[in-house]
Amino acid sequence: MSAWPSSERWTSTDTPLGTVVVVADHAGLRSIGFPDGDDPDRIGARGDVELRWLAATVDDWFDGDPTLETLPVHLDATAFQRDVLDELRRIPPGGRRSYAEVAARVGRPAAARAVGQACGRNPVALAIPCHRVVRADGELGGYAWGVERKAALLTLEDLERRDGCRHDPKRGTR
């Protein structure tokens, strides 16, 4: 792992589910997301060369390496949101928790809807895996980057858990 930048910087990488932009500063990850419809010039430039290690870490996550989920994050969040995001990091790849289960685990069993809102405000998708939180009936629920992406992320993790590798038609079996 290389050094964190002294000021907020960004990089991007192409993944099986689209371009991912990673923003970091001196204290850790600030945001990770799919910038659908954002400024293509910004994305096309690929960002800060010194942060290519972060782009490689995202690529490795898609190959089954969980290191991305262990990196420090630098978030502006309420105490409740931090509790929820910390709990999400405890859900293993391929695992699922309902919004109500997460609410109970953070000591607020009646706050399932607030858990959903905290997930929706999660600025560091993948590093804090909000895609692993589903409705109590097992349906996917929402996802800031689209329910189709949420389903694809869960499928990638399920394949890895089942087969020990991820299958990606764009990049071949990993």
Query: Which sequence positions are flagged as catalytic?
Result: 130
**Exposure string for 125-159, b = 16+ CB within 10 A, e = fewer:** bbbbbbbbbbeeeeeebebbbeeebbebbbebbeb
CB of 93 closer than 8 Å to CB of 68: no
Residue 33 identity: G
Say how far apart CA 50 and CA 58 lie, in whole Å: 15
Instruction: Locate 104 and state its tokens.
Output: 């109970």
Distance CA 128, CA 126 (A): 5
SS3 78: coil
